[in-house]
Structure 1
Amino acid sequence: MIQARLPLLALLLPLAACASPSAEYPSLAVRDAERWTGTMAAGEAEPYVPVPPGVPTLERAAQLVTEARSLHAEFLAAAPNVRSRVSAAQGASVGSDSWAVAQVAVADLEARRSRVMVALADLDLIYAETSNAGEAIAPVADERDAVAAMVEEESALIADLLARLAR
């Protein structure tokens, strides 16, 4: 039975190849009814005005600046004594008593600077939190910049003292 169907199937296959559509298929291009033209005016965008930071944030930042100024004043008060010790150790051999005393004095200045740097790190944290909250950062940035300037001044002084000590 299967063998009788195979020749019949072989005769029907060429007939399928002769089949063609009676009309053209529709185009897939965009039709005129599907075209959309026109203009749309964009609305006037209001500029973003960030809200000022909260009072607790500003108070904490002010407290950190006050603390940094006090610590910076202590640093500057200790600097002349360290300068004199470094001057006394200039030309001394590494490991001598005067060199060791000068190194300890510079280390004390570095410890004082690190306390100002802690205040700067806290201000950096407040700055980042304020920025992430979408609040105005200018008040915090000004205070942060003031403390950063103190740290830069202290770092420059320490670098100068260490350079003089290395001669």
Structure 2
Amino acid sequence: MNRLFATVLALVPAALALGGCASSSGDYPSLAIRDAERVSGTIAAPATPAAPPPPAPAAADLAALLATIREGHDRFTGQAPAANRAVSAARGAGVGTDAWSVAQVAVANLEAQRSQVMIALADLDRIYASAAIEGADVTATAAALAQANALVEQENAEIDRLLGALAN
């Protein structure tokens, strides 16, 4: 019985405390929208549209880029025979020998020349992408890009061939 009395005695204050939490009071603020929170006025006019993008590049720009690519390719083909001779001289030579080092430098010079061509190719690619996004006619740009890609592919094939021969 003492145990039951102690349990009831412990529950009575807890019940009274919980009852105090459940009471409703009119002292709380209203959650309704206040006058300061109401939107009033008119919608502002839309901003002036941005200026149209510049027109697609002129044929002269494409011709200048193609001329730059062809000049770079001509310099590449001018350096290719020396690189071929250096790689041929390095056949059978061990890695780190003088002949191998000279051949590596010759191939690196070809790669540097190819990178100059690829810079102009990247400009052509950017012009093509801009024209395509703007909805402009891209036939001339696509033709120039195809010519440039063909030249770079020739250069890639030559460099790959030389590096393959140097690795053997």
What TM-score, normalized by structure 2, do the two folds share?
0.66
CA distance in 2, matches of 1:69, 1:148: 11
Moved more, 80-89 or 58-67: 58-67
Please give the secondary structure, in 2, of the residue aligned with 1:83. Answer: helix
| Partner residue in 2 for 1:30 | none
Corresponding position: 1:97 with 2:85 = no
CA distance in 1, matches of 2:142, 2:57: 16
| Partner residue in 2 for 1:71 | 72
CA distance in 2, matches of 1:136, 1:149: 22
- Aligned-pair identity (%): 47
What TM-score, normalized by structure 1, do the two folds share?
0.66
Q: Is the 8 A contact 1:89 1:99 kept in 2?
A: yes
CA distance in 1, matches of 2:115, 2:58: 23
Q: Is the 8 A contact 1:57 1:126 kept in 2?
A: no
| Partner residue in 2 for 1:109 | 110
CA distance in 2, matches of 1:62, 1:54: 17
Q: Is the 8 A contact 2:128 2:138 kept in 1?
A: yes
Please give the secondary structure, in 2, of the residue aligned with 1:63. Answer: helix
Q: Per-residue displacement from partner, 1:87-145 (whole Å, max 9, x unpaired)?
A: 00011000000000000000000000000001110000000000011001111000011
Please give the secondary structure, in 2, of the residue aligned with 1:135. Answer: coil
| Partner residue in 2 for 1:137 | 138
Corresponding position: 1:60 with 2:61 = yes
| Partner residue in 1 for 2:165 | 164
Q: CA deviation at 1:60?
A: 1.4
The one-letter code of the counterpart of 1:103 is: Q
Q: Write out aligned runs for 1:3-152 (5 A).
A: 54=55, 56-152=57-153
CA distance in 2, matches of 1:72, 1:85: 20
| Partner residue in 2 for 1:4 | none
Q: CA RMSD in A?
A: 1.4
Please give the secondary structure, in 2, of the residue aligned with 1:94. Answer: coil
The one-letter code of the counterpart of 1:112 is: Q
Q: CA deviation at 1:58?
A: 2.4
The one-letter code of the counterpart of 1:118 is: I
Q: CA deviation at 1:55?
A: 7.1
The one-letter code of the counterpart of 1:108 is: N
Extract unaligned runs of 5+ from structure 2.
1-53
Dislocated runs of 4+, deviation >2 Å: 53-58
CA distance in 1, matches of 2:166, 2:58: 42
